C-alpha cells in the first residue's frame, strides 16, 4: 500500500468544550491524503458553530438526531471513501502531527494487515500534557478479549475493506459495540494486524467509557454479552478481573 487515503471520523454531541482541539489535531497532521468527517447528533450548545467555523477544511459534516454514538459512527463509515479509517472521539486528540504518517508507514511495511493498533494515554481535562493512565495496545493479543481486554479503539486504524466484510457497529450496545466488533474481527475472523508501540491518541477522562464504576459495570456486562453472542467462552470473573490491572496502571502513573 502506497500512502493510503485516510478517512478520520469524529462523532459529537454537545461537545463545545473539547471538539476544537480534536479538529485541530486532525487538521495539523503532516499527511496529505486525509478526508475528515464529522457526524453530530444535533448539538444545541455551540458545537455545530465551531465545526462550521472550519469551513471546507472539514470534508463532510452532518448534524442530525441519531440513535447513539455507534449509529453516528456507522453514518461516518457510510460517508467514508478512504482506504483506512480512524475514529477519533470529540474529546480525544492526536498528540503530535505525525500520527497518520506513522500509521501509513506501518501499513506500507506490513503488507496484508487489515488494521494497525497504537497506544493511548488518558489525561485530565485540565492538564492535557501529563498522562494519568496508559493503555497499551502493544501488549494486546486476541485471546485476551475473553478477559475484557481490547485494542484502544481511537488508536486503531482499520481498512475500509474490513468494515465492508464484517459490517459496522451493532446498535443496542451503550459503550460496548466497538468491543463486539473487535471480537468478530480479531477472534472470529482473525484479521491480520500490526502494532505501533507509541501513543497515537490522548483521551480525556470522564467520557462515556471512562466515567467511573457505573461505566465499568456496563462495559463489563456488554463485553460478556458480546463474547457470548459470538460463541466465545468467557465468564463474569474473567471480564471483571481487568479492574485491578487498570487500578494499578493509574496508581503507577501518578508516581
Adjacent-strand bridge partners of 120: 135, 201
Which cell is 80 given?
467514508
Q: Using one digit for the tens of pLDDT, what is the confidence trace for 43-87? A: 999 999 999 999 999 999 999 999 999 999 999 999 999 999 999
Q: Which residues of the chain are modeled with pLDDT < 50? A: 249-255
Q: What is the C-alpha separation between 191 and 57, in angstroms, rounded?
A: 33
Adjacent-strand bridge partners of 12: 40
- With a threshold of 0.75, does the pTM exceed it? yes
Q: Where are the alpha helices (DSSP H) in the chain?
A: 19-27, 47-53, 69-79, 99-109, 160-166, 177-182, 213-229, 236-240, 242-253
CATH number (domain holding residue 84): 3.90.550.10
Say if 166 falls within a structural domain: yes
Host domain of residue 44: 6-253
Q: What is the pLDDT of residue 88?
A: 98
Q: Using one digit for the tens of pLDDT, what is the confidence trace for 159-188? A: 999 999 999 999 999 999 999 999 999 999
Q: What is the pLDDT of residue 75?
A: 98
Say if 229 falls within a structural domain: yes
Q: What is the C-alpha separation between 251 and 255, in angstroms, rounded?
A: 7
Say if 1 falls within a structural domain: no
Say if 220 falls within a structural domain: yes
Number of domains in the chain: 1
What is residue 126's three-state secondary structure?
Answer: coil
Q: What is the pLDDT of residue 254?
A: 45
Say if 124 falls within a structural domain: yes
Q: Which residues of 160-192 are buried (b: 16+ CB within 10 A; e: fewer)?
A: bebbeebebbbeebebbbbbbbbbbbbbeeebe
Q: What is the pLDDT of residue 244?
A: 58
Q: What is the pLDDT of residue 216?
A: 80
Q: What is the C-alpha separation between 80 and 36, in angstroms, rounded?
A: 9
Say if 175 falls within a structural domain: yes
Output the DSSP codes for 140-187: --GGGGGGT----GGGEEEEHHHHHHH-SPPTT-SS-HHHHHHIIIII
Say if 56 falls within a structural domain: yes
Q: What is the C-alpha separation between 51 and 192, in angstroms, rounded?
A: 35
Share the mean pLDDT of the chain: 91
Say if 198 falls within a structural domain: yes
Amino acid at each position: 500500500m502506497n500512502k493510503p487515503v485516510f478517512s478520520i471520523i469524529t462523532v459529537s454531541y454537545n461537545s463545545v468544550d473539547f471538539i476544537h482541539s480534536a479538529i485541530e489535531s486532525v487538521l495539523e497532521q503532516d499527511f496529505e491524503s486525509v478526508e475528515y468527517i464529522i457526524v453530530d447528533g444535533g448539538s444545541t450548545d455551540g458545537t455545530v458553530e465551531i465545526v462550521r467555523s472550519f469551513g471546507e477544511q472539514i470534508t463532510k459534516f452532518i448534524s442530525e438526531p441519531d440513535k447513539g454514538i455507534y449509529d453516528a459512527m456507522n453514518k461516518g463509515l457510510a460517508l467514508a471513501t478512504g482506504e483506512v479509517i480512524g475514529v477519533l472521539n470529540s474529546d480525544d486528540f492526536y498528540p503530535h502531527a505525525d500520527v497518520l504518517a506513522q500509521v501509513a508507514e506501518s501499513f506500507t511495511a506490513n503488507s496484508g494487515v487489515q488494521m494497525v493498533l497504537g497506544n493511548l494515554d488518558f489525561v485530565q481535562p485540565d492538564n492535557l500534557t501529563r498522562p494519568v493512565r496508559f493503555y497499551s495496545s502493544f501488549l494486546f493479543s486476541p485471546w485476551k478479549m475473553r478477559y475484557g481486554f481490547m485494542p484502544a479503539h481511537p488508536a486503531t486504524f482499520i481498512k475500509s475493506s474490513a468494515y465492508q466484510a464484517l459490517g459496522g457497529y451493532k446498535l443496542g450496545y451503550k459503550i460496548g459495540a466497538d468491543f463486539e466488533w473487535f471480537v468478530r474481527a480479531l477472534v472470529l475472523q482473525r484479521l491480520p494486524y500490526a502494532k505501533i508501540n507509541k501513543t497515537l491518541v490522548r483521551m480525556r477522562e470522564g467520557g462515556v467509557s471512562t466515567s467511573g464504576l457505573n461505566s465499568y459495570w456496563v462495559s463489563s456486562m456488554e463485553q460478556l454479552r458480546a463474547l457470548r453472542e459470538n460463541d466465545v467462552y468467557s465468564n463474569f470473573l474473567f471480564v471483571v478481573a481487568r479492574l485491578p490491572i487498570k487500578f494499578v496502571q493509574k496508581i503507577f502513573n501518578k508516581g
